[in-house]
Amino acid sequence: MAAQDAAPLENQVVLVTGAARRIGAVIAQAFHAHGARVAVHFRRSAAEAGALVAAMNAARPGSAAAFEADLAVDSALQALPASVIGTFGALDVLVNNASTFYPTPVGTITARQFDDLVSSNLRAPLFLSQAAAPELRRRRGLILNIADIHGLRPLRRHSVYSAAKAGLVMLTRSLARELGPEIRVNAIAPGPVLWPESGMDGELQKRIVARTALQRTGTPEDVAKAAIFFATAAPFVTGEVLAVDGGRLAGGDER
């Protein structure tokens, strides 16, 4: 991206959780391309996070840093925003992207699975937002939650995940009311953008795409563009959930 296009987020600091890989990495790259300094959070993917940060710093020295944290640990939730502020001197945007996803068919759900999915998809965004709020209030910043269309429409065999993402949707709206006027809080709900890393039957993929208005899958870049929209072009938008799903919610019956 040309240098003149980087201006909208120049001097802003963005923390993206779960940013070493997949959608999180693309979101981090998009913010960096628009001039932001980027804090890349990771839990296990140290090599990928290191490579991403190295590439950003090669393009713009001192513009990125990696932060390792287990967001299931209370002390880490408190410490991560403080570490980012200590490194960059500020925090303007918190992107709650880190997520855990796996099936929990009713009849087999365990308490450990429930706690794991709720911790990753709802609890961590809440307590990270709370920890970051004083600095975001000072900077009149933005919290951006990466939800899921299945927080708006349940996914079979994923009842706990769907419930946790539904909670994140309501958390977005609740925080928008509580943290305004200084902090805006919005969410993006991706649809068929990336298939699960564990794999998915090809015929099932085709059926999902067939029930999508645009008749194709999206890309991580589509999600990243929505994130940049909220950060640069939506100063009067808060409490909103934007489905980036190619019209999947408008499609036919769920699988």
Query: Of 78, 74, 68, 39, which Cα lies nearest the Cα of 56?
Result: 39
Say which DSSP state 93 is in: E
DSSP 149-197: GGGTS--TTBHHHHHHHHHHHHHHHHHHHHHTTT-EEEEEEE-SSS--T
Calculate helix-pair angle for 22-33, 220-232, nearest 10 degrees: 40
Alpha-carbon dihedral angle through residues 34, 82, 238, 101, given to the nearest 10 degrees? 90
- Residue 40: half-sphere exposure toward Cβ, Cα within 13 Å: 33
Cα within 13 Å of Cα(10), Cβ side: 7
**Residue 131's Cα: distance from chain center in Å?**
17
Strands 37-42 and 93-96: unpaired
Catalytic residue list: 161
